[in-house]
Each structure stands twice: as C-alpha cells, then as structure tokens.
C-alpha cells in the first residue's frame, strides 16, 4: 500500500517521524511531503532516512517534476494522510488553495483523505477552525477527520488538540488496508496489530511430586504457539510464557519458559510489570488447577504394598489474577471442556471477568489437545461465534480478529464514557 504522508508545521511533526517508521514496519510505502512550516520543526532528512524516499517539499521544483511530478504523486497514493494537520493547513484545504505542493496534490488526487489535526486546544476549539473542518467534511464527505486526543499539551494547556499516538494512527491505516483490501500485500499478513503488546501463556504446567515425577495434562501448546506466531506476524510485540512443550519458539517472539503454575504466575507478573501492563493478555495455557501439597526433593521410594494418597492444593488462577488487577486492557481465556461446552464457557467468562473465552471440546480426538487442527467457539458478552474445524494457524487468526474487534468496541465505549 502506498501512503502519501503530508506533514505540516505543528509541534506534533516529530510524531510523524515515528508514524513513518511504524508504517514502514507495517510494509507500507511511505512518501513524505512536507510543508515549509513542517521543515522548521523536523528536517526532511529525518523522513528520508525513515521512509527510504526523497521527501517532497516544493511545488515549483523542476528536478522533482522530472521525477514523479505533482500529478503523478497525486495518482500514486492509495491514501493521503496529513498528520499533523495544522490549523493553517485545514484553512487552506477548506479554501481549496493550490499555491504549494500539498494543496496542489490534494486537489489533483482522488485518493481517500485522512486528516489528523493537532494544535493548541484554543486553536482547535476556535470557531474558525471548526468551521474549516465542517467545510472540508461538506465538500469531501469521504474525508476522515481523526479527532485529536485530549490531554496535556506541549504549551502547558490541557484539552483537545493532541495528535493521536503514531502507533495508533499506523494501526488505523493498517486496519483500513485490511478491511478495504486497498493495496493489500500479496504475500504476508496485514500488520493490523502493530504497536500492541501481547502477553500470552501456552502449554501445560508440570506440578512436581519429586525430581522425576509430576502431574500434568495433554496440552501440546500448539494453539498458544500458533496465536503467538500469528500475532507477531500481524505486527504485535509478543511475549510467550510457555510451559514445557516440544515446539520451536516462534520467530520474533520472546519466550519465557516455565514449569509449574506458580512459576507461570510469577513470570506473567514479571513480564507485565516490565512492560507496564499489556494491551492484551491471552491465557492459552492449560494450567493445572491443583499441585501436590508437598514436593519431595529426592525421588520417592515405593512404600511396601500399600497404595499412596496424594494431597493436592489449589493453584493460583493466573487469568483471574491478571484480569482483576486490570493489568491488560483486553483479556482472553480458554475453556477446554469435554461436555456442555458453551454453558461452561459462558460461566467461565463471567466468573473470571474476561472479555473473550475461546472454548474447545477436548474430548474429540480430531481437534484440541495435540492436534494440528481445532474447532472453537469464541464467546464474548456480545456474541458467540463458531470457528469451524481448521488448522490452528487459521483458528489463531480468527481469534485475533475477534480480539481486535472486542478491543475496538471496548476502547470506543471507554472513550465515550
Ligand atoms: C513553536 C510553534 C509551534 C506551533 N505549533 C502548532 C501546532 O501544533 N498546530 C498548528 O496548527 N500550528 C502550530 N504552529 C503554527 C504553524 O506553524 C503556522 O500556522 C504555520 O504557518 C503552519 O504552516 P503549514 O500549515 O503550511 O505547515 C506553531 C508555531 C510555532 C512557532
């Protein structure tokens, strides 16, 4: 996909450098176009280094016109994003001015136009600016105005006018690419999870009886590993806290190996503290509910002819701990059941306060534990979706799609509260 990134003269111009980097990391071709004002804040060289393309700055430049002329530039773009869009540029767009490169390209282009206004809160609230925004929307109903965030501003004021974070803008662009299919890469996934920090658990846990014996379960870790790999390929920063499995670590994923449920909780806590809370916490591990009350330090010998009674204590509930401590914006749990799948899944979702439960029937030999395929129900507060039997890699993508939709819904709700 080809994005023409217009950078204008605002204090948030430095964020456009980070935005360029994020888009390029997402596989987007970025052509930066800077106004004269923008060049007082950041140099074209910065954008050239980040985008790998010479930055366009002037309209009446014979050399540049010999290369990709302004009309070609206008036709080249799949999307024009102006971030930050200064108050001055909004006024110029509303008036249809074409006395600089940005204005001329905008008039000559039929590509979708997105504007991310960023300015002092009083400038943003000013009726002149608001009038210009309304005029642009009336003249170009397809134009998306990305509402500025509210908060503390560079000038010390507090209010609306901050450009959304570059990662968030990049994610929007990549999501649009995924949903619209425009400029979709023929090879490789769309990086719509770019910027998300995801902590996952996978595999079984081992609860030691002694140095050579343990209680465990049949989890192979394949579903969790498939999720970690898919999330990483879609651009997320993934940490996988993994019980003992015989799977290769997915490329680009940080793997923290653990053995018992208590180790797993400790590792999850450490990782979440280190990253200052994750965007998503996905608990795909089959964590043992119980562990032996005591674990011998030496191998236990057979004691005469009598049987042996094990005394078990409950393990901590990792998913409920993370959810109740609000250490992740979105939490996803798994319910491996052998009967009454949906009933158990609904109850588990509510009991643990998680956003999504992925439920699978582990009594079927063709899916679930150890199999390369899975069939799951994804249960949220809003709906219940069956993902029919397919490879765990494909199921992983469906689960991530559902999580992304739930996350968007949640954030929209939070933003409007
Ligand atoms: C230090 C400084 C910071 C500024 N920050 C902003 C800003 O955040 N948003 C804005 O709309 N204008 C800002 N301005 C004003 C613009 O730079 C000015 O209106 C300029 O003409 C914009 O030109 P352009 O839209 O062609 O890039 C700032 C000016 C200065 C001196």
Tell me: do 142 and 208 sit in the same domain.
Answer: no
Residue with tokens 């000013």: 126
Instruction: Measure the CA–CA gap between 121 and 166, rounded to whole angstroms.
Output: 19
* Domain final residue pick, 146, 180, 214: 180
Count Cα atoms within 13 angstroms, Cβ side, for 183. Answer: 20
Ligand 1 atom nearest 100 alpha carbon: 26
Mutate to test the pocket of ligand 1, among 37, 100, 105, 152 (most ligand atoms within 8 A of CB): 37
For 399, phi then psi, to 5°, come to -65, -40
Are 264 and 385 within one domain?
yes
The protein residue with its alpha carbon nearest to ligand 1, atom 9, reads: 119
Ligand 1 centroid – CA 7 distance (Å):
11
Last residue of a domain, one of 180, 209, 224: 180
Q: Is residue 307 part of a domain?
A: no
Question: How many angstroms does the Cα of residue 151 sit away from the middle of ligand 1?
Answer: 19
Ligand 1 atom closest to 37 (CA): 27
Is residue 54 a contact partner of residue 68, using CB atoms and an 8 Å limit?
Answer: no
Same domain, yes or no: 149 and 269: no
Structure tokens at 381: 């507060």
User: 3-state SS string over the chain?
Assistant: CEEEEEECCCCCHHHHHHHHHHHHHCCCEEEEEECHHHHCCCCHHHHHHHHCCCCECCCCCHHHHHCCCHHHHHHHCCEEEEEEECHHHHHHHHHCCCCCHHHHHHHHCCCCEEEEECCCHHHHHCHHHHHHHHHHHHHCCCCEECCCEEEECCCCCEEEEECCCHHHHHHHHHHHHHHHCCCCCCCCCCCCCCCCEEEEEECECCEEEECCEEECCCCCCHHHHHHHHHHHHCCCEEEEEECCCCCCCCCCCEEEECCCHHHHHHHHHHHHHHCCCEEEEEECCECCCEEECCCCCCCCCCCCCCCCCCCEEECCCHHHHHHHCCCEEEEEEEEEECCCHHHHHHHHHHHHCCCEEEEEECCCCCCCCCCCEEEEEEECCCCEEEEEEEEHHHHHHHHHHHHHHHHHHHHHHHHHC
Question: Within a domain: residue 191?
Answer: no
Q: Which residues surround ligand 1 with Cβ inside 6 Å?
A: 8-12, 35-38, 86-89, 118-119, 123
| pLDDT tens per residue across span 389-409 | 999 999 999 999 999 989 988
pLDDT of residue 188: 67
The answer to the question of residue 144 being in a domain is yes
Instruction: Please give the pLDDT value at position 173.
Output: 92
Task: Going residue by residue through the chain, which has 417 residues, state the pLDDT in tens, using 9 for 90 and above.
Answer: 999 999 999 999 999 999 999 999 888 999 999 999 999 999 999 999 999 999 999 998 888 888 788 999 999 999 999 999 999 999 999 999 999 999 999 999 999 999 999 999 999 999 999 999 999 999 999 999 999 999 888 888 999 999 999 988 998 998 888 777 787 666 667 778 877 899 999 999 999 999 999 999 999 999 999 999 999 998 889 999 999 999 999 999 999 999 999 999 999 999 999 888 899 999 999 999 999 999 999 999 888 888 989 999 999 999 999 999 999 999 999 998 888 889 999 999 999 999 999 998 877 777 766 788 889 999 999 899 999 999 999 999 999 999 998 998 887 666 555
Domain boundary pick from 149, 180, 211: 180
- Residues with a catalytic annotation lie at 155
**Rounded Cα distance, 385 and 358, in Å:** 10
Q: Give the model's pLDDT for residue 415.
A: 57
> Which residues, 6 or more positions from 94, have their beta carbon under 8 angstroms from its beta carbon?
131, 132, 133, 135, 136, 139
Cα 145 to middle of ligand 1, angstroms: 18
Shared domain for 368 and 223, answered yes or no, is yes
Q: Is residue 185 part of a domain?
A: no
Q: Into how many domains does the chain fold?
A: 2
Supply the pLDDT for residue 377. Answer: 94
- The minimum-distance atom of ligand 1 relative to the CA of 88 is 25
The CA distance from 107 to 255, in Å, is 50
Please tell me the distance between residue 117's alpha carbon and the centre of ligand 1 in angstroms.
Answer: 11
**Atom of ligand 1 minimally distant from the CA of 12:** 8
Ligand 1 pocket mutation, candidates 36, 88, 105, 155, criterion most atoms within 8 A of CB: 88
How far, in Å, is the centroid of ligand 1 from the Cα of 23?
A: 24
Q: Do 266 and 141 belong to one domain? A: no
Q: Say how far apart CA 246 and CA 244 lie, in whole Å.
A: 7
Dump pLDDT digits (tens) for 333-391.
Answer: 999 888 888 999 999 999 999 999 999 887 777 776 678 888 999 999 989 999 999 99
Ligand 1 centroid to residue 4 C-alpha, Å: 20
Together in a domain, 77 and 225: no
Same domain, yes or no: 125 and 245:
no
**CATH number of the domain residue 130 falls in:** 3.40.50.1950
166 and 205 in one domain? no
189 assigned to some structural domain: no
Cα–ligand 1 centroid distance for 268 (angstroms): 44
Residues 18 and 51 in one domain: yes
Residue 106 sits in which domain range? 2-180
Residue bearing the CA closest to ligand 1, atom 14 = 10
The answer to whether residue 157 sits within a structural domain is yes
Determine, yes or no, domain membership for 230: yes
- pTM for this one? 0.68
Same domain, 8 and 101: yes
Q: How far is CA 287 from CA 39, 284, 318, 400, in A?
A: 55, 9, 8, 21
- 202 Cβ neighbours under 8 A, 6+ residues apart: 219, 221, 223, 224, 225, 227, 228, 240, 241, 242, 243, 245, 284, 285
Looking at the structure, do residues 257 and 228 belong to the same domain, yes or no?
yes
Q: Are 343 and 357 in contact (CB under 8 A)?
A: no
Atom 29 of ligand 1: nearest residue by CA position = 10
- Inside any domain, residue 99: yes
Q: Do 169 and 256 have their domain in common?
A: no
Integer Cα distance of 153 and 15 in angstroms: 14
Strands 290-292, 356-361: pairing is unpaired
């Amino acid at each position: 996909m080809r994005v023409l990134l217009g950078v204008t003269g605002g204090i948030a111009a430095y964020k456009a450098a980070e935005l360029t980097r994020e888009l390029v990391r997402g596989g987007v071709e970025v052509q930066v176009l800077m106004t004269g004002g923008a060049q007082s804040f950041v140099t074209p060289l910065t954008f050239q280094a980040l985008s790998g393309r010479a930055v366009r700055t002037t309209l009446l430049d014979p050399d540049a016109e010999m290369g990709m002329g302004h009309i070609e530039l206008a036709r080249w773009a799949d999307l024009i994003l102006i971030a930050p869009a200064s108050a001055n540029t909004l006024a110029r767009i509303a008036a249809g001015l074409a006395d600089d490169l940005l204005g001329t390209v905008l008039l000559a282009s039929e590509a979708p136009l997105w504007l991310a206004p960023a300015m002092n809160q009083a400038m943003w609230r000013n009726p002149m600016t608001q009038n210009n925004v309304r005029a642009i929307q009336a003249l170009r109903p397809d134009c998306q105005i990305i509402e500025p965030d509210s908060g503390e501003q560079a000038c010390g004021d507090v209010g609306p006018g901050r450009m959304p974070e570059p990662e968030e803008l990049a994610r929007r662009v990549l999501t649009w690419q995924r949903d619209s299919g425009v400029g979709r890469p023929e090879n490789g996934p769309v990086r719509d999870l770019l910027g998300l920090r995801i902590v996952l658990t996978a595999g079984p846990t081992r609860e030691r009886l002694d140095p050579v014996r343990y209680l465990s379960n049949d989890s192979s870790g394949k579903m969790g590993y498939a999720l970690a790999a898919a999330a990483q390929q879609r651009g997320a920063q993934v940490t996988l806290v993994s019980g003992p499995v015989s799977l290769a670590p997915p490329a680009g994923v940080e793997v923290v190996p653990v053995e018992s449920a208590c180790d797993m909780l400790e590792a999850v806590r450490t990782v979440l503290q280190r990253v200052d809370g994750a965007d998503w916490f996905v608990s795909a591990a089959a964590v043992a509910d119980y562990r032996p009350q005591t674990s011998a330090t030496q191998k236990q010998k057979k004691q005469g002819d009598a049987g042996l009674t094990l005394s078990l204590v409950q393990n901590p509930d990792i998913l409920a701990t993370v959810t109740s401590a609000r250490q992740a914006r979105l939490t996803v749990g798994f319910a491996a059941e052998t009967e009454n799948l949906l009933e158990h899944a609904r109850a588990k979702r509510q009991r643990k306060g998680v956003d999504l439960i992925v439920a699978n029937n582990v009594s079927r030999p063709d899916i679930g534990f150890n199999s390369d395929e899975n069939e799951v129900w994804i249960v949220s507060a809003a709906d219940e979706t069956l993902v029919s039997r397919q490879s765990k890699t494909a199921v992983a993508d469906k689960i991530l799609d559902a999580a992304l939709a739930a996350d968007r819904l949640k954030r929209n709700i939070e933003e409007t509260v």
